[in-house]
């Protein structure tokens, strides 16, 4: 298909018309400006169109400005389905179930941390396992694994890894009800047993940052963001456990699509009617993996605090390292939305997209309800990350969704080829950023050129009104998977 068939709606949106591909039930909407439009690829656009062919889809197949090709859905894809006539698809969630981001603020200033940046990065690298197949400090028995699947971040808190005050600042309170450990495969149990409390590999990271620009002083004050003060961002998910859950259910969904005679324009969009047993089983397993991910980020956050206290010889009170918020990226949730003036219950798939609920939404914690949901957008390790807030426009246009990061420009293979002969860690150090990684290949895959400029991505969602900028964070030190 040709990009020439797309129609620009306004400066931040392009339409994939319903005649772009046979079988489309609704149009596609891609949030891109004239700069990011040049980086659109045909496969991603086709995936937006393919999602629009699925039964029960409501209003549109949307994609955020960090869009790039994924499995089934594009990464950056958002689609909502009616729970009576619609479907649920693992391709709309992805392999890394509840890959997400949490952000901590602190009382530490940039100049204090720069003096000891190598020491703290080295300690974090040693204390928090990272890399492919990494094993954590926690060894789980079958009963503990089941408890994590049910309780999520609450399990970690109950086991001394954090405090009760953390829970209210995590999306969904750090757990989704309806997880069912009994339908998890033996292989998924085995993969999850040793990986709780691990960063993982690829684009997962732990980053020490500082606030270098504030766009909304009042909101920043409420969030605890202060100019030149240090923050820490943690980006990881459900690890091998979630990957195995996805793998197990892709096979189930392929059979289900044939069983229920669902026409698929891409086999990677294998799905089942929401009301079917197959869909409900997947939803229960996905929720278990999501809860595992929230527990994982909670454990890592706790050890991060301990590392900072050790290096800076600080008490918890003087350090002031507290959670701002935690958001999920790859997840499907049953939510209430207004469609054509009527409230409807929908299953919203967000794959590489962040929930962006507006002020007053009942699902937000009381401390932020007047403000709107904090939105955490990481960039590549050499540029910047952003904090934004959810808006009413997002609720009306994108089912309360916005972007999730910078979005890849190059495949991992292309990036490694481009980085041949270069010392990426030294290039980063020349910029004043200390990086530690489990392997040189990871740094090549994750170099800045492999990604879109996150500033451009964030400008699009800000101008479109689906989230609004609060602050920009610059990296000082990075631990990569």
Which positions are annotated as active-site residues?
404
* Cα dist from 248 to 95, 185, 263, 268, whole Å: 10, 8, 21, 14
- Residue 447 contacts residue 419 (beta carbons within 8 Å): yes
- Which residue in the block uniquely carries the two structure tokens 């609060």? 470
Question: Cα–chain-centroid distance for residue 34?
Answer: 25
- Residue 16 contacts residue 3 (beta carbons within 8 Å): no
Number of Cβ within a 10 Å radius of residue 381: 25
From 71, 36, 31, select the one nearest 51 (Cα to Cα). 71
**Pairing outcome for strands 434-437 and 467-480:** parallel
Burial of 142 per CB tally in 10 Å (0-12, 13-18, 19+): exposed
Question: Cα–chain-centroid distance for residue 190?
Answer: 24
Rounded to 10 deg, the angle between the 239-259 and 186-193 helix axes is: 160
Distance from C-alpha of 73 to C-alpha of 352, rounded to nearest angstrom: 10
């Amino acid at each position: 298909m040709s990009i020439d068939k797309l129609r620009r709606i306004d400066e931040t949106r392009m339409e994939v018309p319903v005649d772009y591909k046979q079988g489309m039930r609704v149009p596609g909407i891609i949030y891109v400006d004239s700069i990011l439009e040049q980086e659109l690829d045909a496969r991603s656009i086709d995936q937006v169109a393919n999602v629009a062919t699925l039964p029960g889809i409501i209003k549109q197949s949307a994609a955020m400005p960090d869009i790039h090709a994924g499995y089934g859905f594009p990464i950056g894809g958002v689609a909502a389905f009616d729970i009576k006539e619609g479907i649920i698809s693992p391709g709309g969630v992805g392999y890394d179930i509840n890959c997400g981001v949490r952000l901590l603020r602190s009382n530490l200033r940039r100049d204090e941390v720069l003096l000891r940046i190598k020491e703290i990065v080295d300690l974090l690298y040693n204390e928090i396992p990272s890399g492919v197949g990494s094993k954590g400090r926690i060894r789980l028995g079958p009963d503990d694994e089941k408890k994590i699947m049910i309780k999520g971040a609450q399990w970690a808190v109950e086991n001394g890894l954090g405090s009760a005050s953390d829970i209210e600042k995590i999306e969904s309170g750090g757990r989704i009800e309806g997880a069912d450990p009994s339908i998890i495969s033996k292989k998924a149990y085995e993969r999850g047993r040793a990986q709780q409390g691990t960063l993982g590999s690829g684009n997962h990271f732990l980053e020490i940052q500082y606030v270098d620009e504030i766009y909304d002083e009042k909101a920043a004050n409420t969030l605890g963001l202060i100019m030149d003060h240090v923050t820490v961002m943690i980006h990881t998910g459900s690890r091998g456990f979630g990957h195995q859950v996805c793998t197990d259910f892709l096979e189930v969904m392929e059979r289900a699509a044939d069983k229920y005679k669902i026409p698929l324009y891409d086999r990677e969009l294998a799905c089942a009617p929401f009301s079917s047993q197959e869909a409900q089983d997947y939803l229960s397993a996905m929720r278990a993996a999501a809860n595992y991910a929230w527990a994982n980020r909670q454990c890592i956050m706790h050890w991060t605090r301990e590392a900072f206290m050790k290096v800076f010889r600080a008490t918890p009170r003087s350090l002031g390292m507290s959670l701002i918020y935690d958001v999920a990226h790859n997840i499907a949730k049953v939510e209430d939305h207004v469609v054509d003036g009527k409230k409807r219950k929908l299953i919203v798939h967000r794959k590489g997209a962040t929930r962006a609920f507006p002020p007053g939404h009942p699902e937000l914690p009381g401390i932020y309800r007047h403000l709107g949901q904090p939105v955490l957008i990481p960039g590549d390790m050499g540029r910047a990350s952003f904090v934004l807030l959810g808006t009413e426009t997002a609720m009306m246009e994108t089912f309360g969704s916005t972007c999730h990061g910078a979005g890849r420009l190059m495949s991992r293979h292309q990036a490694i080829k481009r980085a041949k002969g270069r010392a990426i860690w030294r290039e980063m150090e020349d910029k004043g950023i200390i990086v530690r990684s489990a392997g040189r290949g990871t740094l090549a895959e994750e170099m800045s050129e492999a990604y879109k400029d996150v500033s451009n991505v964030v400008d699009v969602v800000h101008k479109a009104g689906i989230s609004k900028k609060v602050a920009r964070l610059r990296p000082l030190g990075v631990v990569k998977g």
